[in-house]
Structure 1
Amino acid sequence: MHGGRTPEDAIDFSISINPYKPEWIDDVFERAEKLSSRYVYWEHLEQKLSELVKNDVSVTAGATEAIYLIGIHFLRELESVVIPKPTYSEYERIARFFGCRVVEVPLSNLESIGDRLSSSSAIFFCNPNNPTGRYYSPKELKPLVDAVEDSRSIMFLDEAFMDFVEGYRSVDSENVVKIRTFTKSYGLPGIRVGYVINFEEVKEYRMPWSIGSVGYAFLEKLIEDKFSFLKQSMPKIWREKRKFESKLGVKGDANFFLMYMPGAVEFLKSKGIYVRDCSSFGLDGHIRFSIRLPEENDLLIKNLIEVMG
């Protein structure tokens, strides 16, 4: 369902990552090998990353570790967690892990969420949303952020796919903890490196050396690169996205699309193509597929058209 278990010779559209890789990736692994014989500390890199993103950041082993560290600090003191659905399943899992009551609300009805918030609650919000790919602008999110501030609750804003959105802008509020990751936008989900904004306390809970030598070496090169890789690769993805939109009639703001297409998973698998079965999101019959290299995208489009008849 989430990549990693597909055959190595398959074309895997089930994981939504950048299909391109930085030209300096070999340098990362060479540097990591030299670092592997010692304990690595990244405080100075954390400071350099803060300067690069123009925010005080706390480095974590990807966005998912950040979610669990947030749970240790916040959720054990709260009564309920509001989760607009469909969305990433780990939000509900971590909320139940800490004994919080889960309040599910339809993502399509954000106006009603404010009534469910209080000083003893929090909300998880994914922007752009996974699995719909829908991006919510600061203007669209303002009523929700206002409700969070008025109720003295807190919003955990998961921006894992933000780099794939053209012209992405984030909301600003002291009541919003932002969770970000590099593993998707750099096409390297096995390298667990992300960060948190507006939550310095995360440093009290994270395990020492959690990103390891590979994560350390990756962070070094990323800071040196100053996001030039993203500036080079994202326009290529946006061009391919328009190809899907014109030929399949799908819409999405991130690097993936959601479609209702019963039977497509098994049909595509027979062709050596893997897409995400969205039943775990509560969306039976739906598939989610990412944007890959041009020739791979052409093959997927061809087969999806065949499924559509």
Structure 2
Amino acid sequence: MNLPSHGSNPQYLFKAMGRTLPKQFIDFSANINPIGPPSDLKEKWNDFYNEIMVYPDPLAVRLKDRIAEKEQISVDSILIGNGGAELISLVARYLSGKKIVVIEPAFSEYETACRANQCEIQYHQLKGPNFELNLDDLQTSLLNAEALFLCNPNNPTGIHYPKSTILSILEECEKQNCYLILDEAFYDFLIDYDSFIPYINRFSKLIIIRSLTKMFAIPGLRLGYLAAASNIVTELSALQPHWSINSIALLAGELCIVNNEFIKKTQSYIREERERLLSFYKQYHFEFTPSKVNFYLLRDPYLEGQMDLFEFLIQKEIIPRHTFNFPGLDGNWLRFAIKSKEENSKLMEVLKEWRHLHSSSLPEG
């Protein structure tokens, strides 16, 4: 069965499974803010209409200015992209032909983009359920490496690695003359996050990628940004198509990037729902990753693989994200986004039904 390599767009999943997409379903496969876009975006939407007749600013000056002010860095160290996917593709092209290490499990686009640019790929595999990361284990993998991709908070596990760990990796990369591409697509779901953007002035080969589509629930607009030393940004800019980001996305970004109240509201909601879900999973003997963001990995430890559970959920019109294309996971986990309270409750109800149907597999006592 050739399942889709991304979440969302469930019609392709159902087609691959030889099923008809139901009229009603809950899609847990896309890690988007369940609150939806900020209300001020909707209020301004009609005003954006006039901008479709005007070419977008190819330099994205106003959005860069707002990011620079928020992050306290130079605008010359910022590159705006058509979502994180474009920025990953640009970085892969910049690294064309180099030896790349990807800390797995990880977002599959790193490998896809790097292979398209004739990079030599090596995995550094972390082991579940805690997927611990430390420099001692990584040092051998870094020998002769020219670039390292690290997703933090990690997609698909939801685990956030502490600042001390990332700093030790940064220092080792600097010694080895190795780029560190730090994908922080979900950083703003963390409460009291300690930003690494100030470190672009200290570490010459640090490249940070961030997404605005996840927190602000605007994946249809495609928007993200990259922070790095100005010379790297200049070289990456030369690889980017002109007018890569549309006018509406830029205007939306200008509104969203300064909406700290919305971010705090989301963080509080996600933490509350995550604690409720994980408490339920513990009670009903499901294994899960110690996520700190808006998604997590889950498995029934009494199954050899998770396909039976996956198909049971599909039958119940609940769509999880499979993990067959995450090296090291190989379908042995399912990924779920945190959704609305009602949708999360429905998921727990269905998993409770699953557990009751398979109660004979539980250990006594």
**Is this a same-fold pair by TM over 0.5?**
yes
Does residue 1:292 correspond to 2:339, yes or no? yes
Residue 89 of structure 1 and its aligned partner are, at CA, apart by 0.8
Q: Indicate the residue corresponding to 2:271 in structure 1.
A: 238
**Any conservation in 2 of the 1:17–1:185 contact (CA below 8 Å)?**
yes
| Deviation of 1:194 (Å) | 0.6
| Aligned counterpart for 1:105 among listed residues 124, 129, 132 | 124
- Indicate the residue corresponding to 1:44 in structure 2: 62
Cα offset, 1:121, TM superposition: 1.1
Aligned residue for 1:19?
A: 34
Larger relative contact order (C-alpha < 8 A, sep ≥ 6)?
A: 1
* The one of 267, 276, 291 aligned to 2:312: 267
Conserved 8 A contact 2:124-2:141:
no
Other-structure match for 2:325: 280
Change (3 A) 1:260 1:43: same
- The offset of 1:183, in angstroms, is 0.2
The higher radius of gyration belongs to 2
Deviation at 1:33, TM superposition (A): 1.8
Match of 1:92 in 2: 111
Q: Which range is displaced more, 118-127 or 234-243?
A: 118-127
Q: Does the aligned pair in 2 maintain the 1:28–1:217 contact within 8 Å? A: no
Check conservation: 2:93, 2:114, Cα contact below 8 A. Answer: no
Shift of 1:102: 0.7
- Whole-angstrom distance in 2 between the partners of 1:122 and 1:19: 34
Distance 1:279 1:119, change over 3 A: closer
Q: Report deviation, 1:255.
A: 0.9
What is the letter of the counterpart of residue 41 of structure 2?
I
- Which runs of structure 2 are paired with 1:68-217 in the superposition (5 Å)? 68-73=89-94, 75-76=95-96, 78=98, 80-107=99-126, 108=132, 110=134, 111-117=136-142, 121-171=146-196, 172=199, 173-198=203-228, 199-201=232-234, 202-217=236-251
Change in CA separation of 1:36 and 1:106 when aligned onto 2, cut-off 3 Å? same
Q: For residue 77 of structure 1, report the CA deviation from its aligned partner.
A: 5.3
Write out per-residue CA displacement over residues 177-210 of structure 1, whole angstroms, 9 at most, x where no aligned residue. 1000110011221121110011422322222222
Indicate conservation of the 8 Å contact 1:71/1:98, yes or no. yes
> How far apart are 1:221 and its partner, in Å?
1.7
The one-character-per-residue Cα deviations of 1:158-191 (angstroms, maximum 9, x if unpaired) are 0001111223224433321100011001122112
In structure 1, the gaps of 5 or more residues are none
Shift of the alpha carbon at 1:122? 0.3
> In 1, distance between residues paired with 2:351 and 2:79?
42
Name the aligned partner's letter for residue 207 of structure 2: V
The answer for the alignment partner of 2:363 in structure 1 is none
- Report the TM-score, using the length of structure 2 for normalisation: 0.79
User: Partners in 2 of 1:271 and 1:222 — Cα distance?
Assistant: 35
Q: Distance in 1 between matches of 2:278 and 2:89?
A: 36
User: What is the distance in 1 between the residues matched to 2:63 and 2:170?
Assistant: 31
Q: Secondary structure at the match of 2:325?
A: helix
Maintained 8 Å contact 2:62/2:254: no
TM-score by length of 1: 0.92
- Stretches of structure 2 lacking an aligned partner (at least 5 in a row): 1-5, 12-20, 127-131, 283-287, 301-305, 357-365
Aligned pair count?
A: 306
Shift of 1:28: 4.5
Give the Å deviation of 1:240.
0.5
SS of the residue corresponding to residue 281 of structure 1 reads coil
Q: Which amino acid counterpart does residue 240 of structure 1 have in structure 2?
A: E
Give the aligned CA root-mean-square deviation in angstroms. Answer: 1.9
Deviations 1:19-76 (A, max 9, x none): 0121123235323321111101022321222112223321111111111111222x12
Which of residues 292, 301, 324 in structure 2 aligns to 1:253?
292
Cα separation, 2, equivalents of 1:146 and 1:23:
42
Could you tell me which amino acid in structure 2 is paired with residue 67 of structure 1?
I
Secondary structure of 1:177's aligned partner? strand
